[in-house]
Chains A and B, each alone.
Chain A
Amino acid sequence: MQNPWIYVGLFVLVGMFIPIAAIAIAAFLGPKKPNAIKQSTYECGIETVGDSWIQFKAQYYIFALVFLVFDVETVFLFPWAVSLNKLPLFAVFEGIIFILILLAGLVYAWKKGMLEWV
């Protein structure tokens, strides 16, 4: 049996080919009559006001940061979870202590008000 990731690579290629084919057929079949009004961006029916670059709220960045910490934690927990039943009982407590440390971090962020959406 060959490397299974070659299959996944082929899947990526075919998966990109199907939507590209759909868009190509649509571009071939559809009318092409651009005019200035059709191509202007939509703002509830009125003319656009100001730049289309809105202010990036800092709250998004904080949520992404907390997500990053927990995502890396879960990636570290995957090998622990797979081999849990073959390890001695002590390993379970190791994993639990790891999760508790990170939950303490979440509680700290909560008390400091980092998880509010204002």
Chain B
Amino acid sequence: MEFWKDPINTIFASLLKSFTSGGMSEILATILIWLIGILLFVTFAMVLDIFLVWIERKVVARFQDRLGPNRIGPFGIFQPFADIVKLLIKEDITPVGADVIMFNLAPIFSMMSVLLLWAIMPFAPLMVGVDLNVGMLYLVAAGSIGTLSVIMAGWASNNKYATMGAFRTVAQMISYEIPMVAAILVITVLAGSMGAVGIVEAQEIPFIFYAPLTFIIFLISAIAELGRSPFDLNEAESEIVAGFHTEYTGMKFGLFYAGELLHSFTFGGFIALLFFGGHRFFGLEELGPIVGALIFIGKALFFYWVIMWVKYTVPRIRIDHMLAFNWKFLTPLAFILLMVTALVGRLFLESNWLVPALFLSNILIAWLTVEYLKSHARKEREKEEALKPSTQMTQH
């Protein structure tokens, strides 16, 4: 019974005791046990990644009113394994003139940046890899390694289109980091802590009720940061073939593709963590950390489904619209929300009116934004009407 309340620490303590009683020093034993734990954890992440490929293909098929893969195994569940075997036996073509070291390092860094995020994902407060006290800053930093890998891939391919695609993708990814970090700052203000477990424990009422507009900003920025539709200029299939990963074949391409899906799932997990209470579900999480972990995975899959829903519904956005939307709309809005949340949260700190006050201030800002956009659009329309030459030949 004691084991189910705290599985990871119990196993860790018992293994540590058995290793040190054999004569190993404590630091070495800790590192060894951590290494075994990390290998199991990363293996779980990769197996989950394989099933994410299956989920993606089935869901896209249903959105497009067709069945997905349904030949290999019941409901096509072994399809990703067939994909992996195919990618493994393909030839590794390196284009002539490519920078060999960077060409090979780029998919490795792309996959590594996603796996690094799993170190702080709190499946339950007692089932987290390591609870860094600067968790949210680590999230942004490790995510930026993926951006670096895009430039490495594009530049090392010795291909005009890959380079152009890489530049545009990096411009998009770094632009959308600012509203994302501003939204994370709002959550930090509300929770009083940057660490992942601290944010989960501060959510007696999920933060979506404290900051709904911030959730929308974080969702849009996360989708843009991932490079998924509607912001998928980096793999705009009909425009620049495959963007920065044009020249990649076989397993390297597989690492980019699977890395993007795992990244989407990881961000689904972070949306569940930041806005929806992590492992909470109306008191069901009291049953133990394992139930909490299953609830967290369920919530992360739900938000992964929301991200896919957006992807297969909305057409692609042009690059200048995308960057203008970020710098002229999302960034000022995110910082205004940060200022208002900090002020209102501080003024109503210990009172019962905190949640309604914050919710109402979000609604107020949303309404003001819509009014401003409407008046701006009206002014633009009037300017266009004034410029249009009159083609009427009536007599006044």
Contacts and interface: CB of A to CB of B under 8 A. Distances in A.
To the question of whether A and B form a pair in one complex, the answer is: yes
Interface of A: 2, 4-8, 10-12, 14-16, 18-20, 22-23, 25-27, 29-34, 36, 38-44, 48, 50, 52-54, 56-57, 60, 63-64, 66-67, 70-71, 74-75, 77-78, 81-86, 89, 92, 95-96, 99-100, 102-103, 106-107, 110, 115-118
B100 to A, nearest CB: 12
A95 B186 CA distance: 13
Interface of A is mostly: helix
Contacts of B309: none
Given A74-B185, A96-B339, A23 B251 contact: yes
Given A38-B93, A70-B331, 5 more contacts: A7-B38, A19-B108, A25-B88, A26-B251, A67-B175
B159 A43 contact: yes
Interface of B: 27, 30-31, 34-35, 38-39, 42, 46, 87-97, 104, 107-108, 111-112, 115-116, 118-119, 129-132, 136-138, 157-161, 163-164, 167, 170-171, 174-175, 177-178, 181-182, 185, 188-189, 192-194, 241, 246-247, 250-252, 254-255, 319-320, 323-324, 327-328, 331-332, 335-336, 338-339, 342-343, 345-347, 349
Nearest to A14: B38
Given A15-B111, A82-B192, A30 B92 contact: yes
Contact of B255 (A19, A31, A34, A106): A19
B137 A75 contact: yes
A99 B335 contact: yes
B50 to A, nearest CB: 12
Contacts, number: 214
Given A30-B90, A81-B185, A92-B342, A52 B159 contact: yes
Contacts of A50: 160
Contacts of B171: 60, 63-64
Contact of A11 (B31, B129, B251, B324): B129
A51 to B, nearest CB: 8
B349 A85 contact: yes
A100 B340 CA distance: 12
20 contacts: A14-B39, A25-B88, A30-B89, A30-B92, A36-B96, A38-B93, A40-B95, A41-B158, A67-B178, A71-B181, A74-B182, A82-B188, A83-B192, A84-B342, A92-B346, A99-B339, A102-B335, A103-B335, A106-B331, A117-B320
A41 B116 contact: no
A107 B335 CA distance: 13
Contacts of A92: 342-343, 346
Contacts of B108: 16, 19-20, 23
A23 to B, nearest CB: 6
Contacts of B194: 78, 82
A56 B177 CA distance: 22
B129 A78 contact: no
A110 B35 contact: no
A39 B92 CA distance: 10
A23 B252 contact: yes
A12 B129 CA distance: 13
A60 B320 CA distance: 12
A50 B118 CA distance: 43
A8 B192 CA distance: 24
Contacts of A44: 241
Contact of A4 (B115, B132, B247): B132
A18 B158 contact: no
A21 B34 CA distance: 20
Contacts of B346: 84-85, 89, 92
B96 A39 contact: yes
